[in-house]
Amino acid sequence: MSLNFDTMKKVIEGKTKIIYENPAAAHTVYMVFKDDITAGDGLKHDLIEGKSGIDWLTNKNIFEYLNRKGVRTHYISSPQEKVSIVKRLDRKINLEVVTRRVAAGSILKWGNIAEGTRFDPLITQFHYKDDPLHDPMLDDEYIEFIIQSKGSHEYQQMRDINVQVFMILEKAFAHHHIQLVDFKLEYGLIDGVVTLIDEITGGSFRLWPYAKKEPNLNQQNVLAELDPKGRLDKDTYRMGGDLASVKSKFQIIAEITSGFRDLA
């Protein structure tokens, strides 16, 4: 029997998902994926028919894998296409937590760093979530100040979970000869505990295929080892790629992540 959301109470509708109350279990909500795709903090906007089902599958594959690996996430199950059940947030944390292995995208604007520069250890940054302000990065010293003065252990926990998840997914994509370049994740408090929430889909990360069979990824700059032009992620859309190729790349991500169930 398929769920009918017409009669269900909306908690919130965002750019890519709608959250509905779950009358059968109040501590959970339904997360329903939409066909919308946006970029530039919502300024660029399109509909890609079928994207909701593709993103739903990618998200399901990744969160099932992370749960299996023991990461603390909100994800419970996916009762039907486009629909997942997740633990309901007590409090949203208004941050995007970004972890980077390889320099790409917005970080190139800061400090004149070369594209392809490899970060080891990983770099993790907090961005304040605010579209009109373009999600500004928060200063590390400022975050340390908050931790010291307010005893907000949540920052350290978010950093730790971000790095944990990055290492898990970097390894999983490596099995498919793809480098996880960077990603952004979101967190909330559930039962007083910092928990990974929201979605992980084609719009959450950069994915660059390997340029050769056995790339040397232990160098200061790995750009020549990778194939940024073959990118599978939302940069295709940001850079003005046609919607059909954006969709087919997201479809490839869904297929690749379906293989995560065979990983240890």
Ligand X SMILES: Nc1ncnc2c1ncn2[C@@H]1O[C@H](COP(=O)(O)OP(=O)(O)OP(=O)(O)O)[C@@H](O)[C@H]1O
| Residues at the interface with ligand X (CB under 6 A) | 12, 14-17, 19, 29, 74, 86-89, 92, 129, 197-198
Residue nearest to ligand X (CB): 14
Q: Which is nearer to ligand X, 92 or 238 (CB)?
A: 92
Task: Give least dist CB 148 to ligand X, A.
Answer: 28
Task: Give least dist CB 13 to ligand X, A.
Answer: 7
Torsions phi, psi for 230 (to 5 deg): -90, 15
* Cα–Cα dist 13/199, whole Å: 14
Task: Give least dist CB 51 to ligand X, A.
Answer: 13
CB neighbours of residue 229 within 10 Å: 8
Q: Which is nearer to ligand X, 87 or 101 (CB)?
A: 87
Q: Which is nearer to ligand X, 92 or 176 (CB)?
A: 92
Length of the chain: 264
Q: Which residues pair with 46 in a beta bridge?
A: 37
Task: Give least dist CB 37 to ligand X, A.
Answer: 11
- The three-point CA angle 166-239-255 to 5° equals 50
Residue 246's nearest CA partner among 14, 55, 116 is 55
Q: Which is nearer to ligand X, 63 or 208 (CB)?
A: 63
* Cα–Cα dist 76/63, whole Å: 9
